[in-house]
Structure 1
Amino acid sequence: MSNGGFMSYELACKLSNRVAAIGSVTGSIVRSRLGACTPQHPVPVIEIHGTADNTVPYNGNILFTPIPAVVDYWVRFNGCSTTPVVTAVPNTNTTDGSTAERYVYSGGRNGSVVEHYKIIDGGTPGRARRLPSA
């Protein structure tokens, strides 16, 4: 999670010949590192990220690449379809103020897939998030 997600992307960029796939929860790619990302092989990716994450903002900031751009990088690098199959994730907790969507970009080289779970109005896991008062 978070720093581990950043490390996962770094490993995919630099050691794709030794990494079968990566998963990132609330991680991204540091903007200055995106241009240095030089994988040799397709890397299946799953990214789980909340749109209300204040630690690693979903839409990026001066340091972090926006999550849609990270997903797009891997979709294009892996040669996946740029049109995802989007499904709503069942809302098993109706009191937390968030919902989720699953985006699957398939058809990549060597069977690679990129998946993105977009947690709408979800913050950083494990950190309290204030819900608007009624």
Structure 2
Amino acid sequence: MGLTDQTMVVNGVTRQYRVHVPATLSGEPKAVVLVLHGGGGEGMDVANTGQHPLSVFRSVADREGFVAVYPGGLADTGAAGNRSWNDCRADNTVSSGADDVGFLAALVERMRTEYGLPTSRMFMAGGSNGAQMTHAFAFNRADLVAAVATSSGSLPQNPKAGPCTTGPSRPLPILIVHGTGDTQMPWNGGCVADLGGLCNRGRVISAEATRDRWLQINGLTSMSPSQTVLDDNRTDAGPANRFDYPGTIPLQWWRLDGAGHTVSSQTVLVSPNPATGTQNRDIEFAEMAWAFFKARLPGTGASVSSPLR
């Protein structure tokens, strides 16, 4: 119980991940949620309580009775060798080149087998590069997850051939969160984390274009969303605007006015800084993601586009 470090070998490469099992869990967990770190030096350390907003998935897991899994990306080819994910960007020249879709697919299958769960109880969420990898996994292996959630991660302007270009094999419920003041994953699209001016991490389309692509995938382009505005914390850059596109395969979109790149949180607070901007503190990304996932669980009345094994 608690947080344990584990490994598995995929395509001859040893891969690491951390598993958080609630201490009070007895029997089958309600679900498994894979939580993907962003590109950078933190890697799986985003699971450390209080260190990163993504760690909040652990406290939510304790309360709700699901297992949180934190996979680790491999070092990229940049000077710092940061842990990152090889997602759908064809023009990311510092990517590790690893088969991260294959790794995550194998990890999902291991968790399904270990806990005896159907795919309808498997979910994935990520921030920044982890959000991009979540998109990539959804495009490549939509058959293995019931829903996904992303924070500050857009689709590529120059996607790889295959599913990254053509789209997923089936529609998928998705929650998307993005700040209008994000310069690392530019709200209006452009170079990703272009700190050195080389644009060597590739280009993405805008946050709104990313939303629109998923609306098309999920057959929601003619849907008028309902809007909810949350502005509980007046010390951040602006309110959180929630747009719900209901349907058989829903999309929930959060526009965080003025917010930068940092994952939104009410409990793990990150000070404003020139690189990542101002954190939105009106919502807790982990809580919003789990609420979205929980509504998709079997027995809640949610429907899916195709049978899940």
1:99 alignment partner AA? P
> Are positions 1:14 and 2:143 aligned together?
no
Measured after TM superposition, the shift of residue 116 of structure 1 is 0.7
Match of 2:188 in 1: 59
Structure 1 residues 54-76: Cα deviation after superposition (integer angstroms, max 9, x where no partner): 10011111511101111111111
Aligned residue among 243, 254, 259 for 1:122: 259
State the structure with more CA Rg.
Answer: 2
The amino acid of 1:6's aligned partner reads Q
Amino acid at match of 2:138: A
5+ residue gaps, structure 1, are: none
Superposition map of 1:19-34 within 5 A: 19-33=145-159
Whole-angstrom distance in 1 between the partners of 2:206 and 2:132:
13
**Post-superposition offset of 1:127:** 6.0
How far 1:124 sits from its partner (Å)?
Answer: 1.4
Identify unmatched segments of 5+ residues in structure 2.
1-126, 192-202, 263-269, 278-309
CA shift, 1:129, in A, is 4.4
Partner residue in 1 for 2:242:
102
8 Å CA contact 1:105–1:114 kept in 2: the answer is: yes
Aligned to 1:88: 229
RMSD: 1.9
**TM-score of the superposed pair, with normalisation by structure 2:** 0.39
Question: What one-letter code is carried by the residue in structure 1 that aligns with 2:272?
Answer: A
Count matched residues: 127
Structure 1 outlier segments of 4+, above 2 Å: none
Q: Any idea what SS the aligned residue of 1:36 has?
A: helix
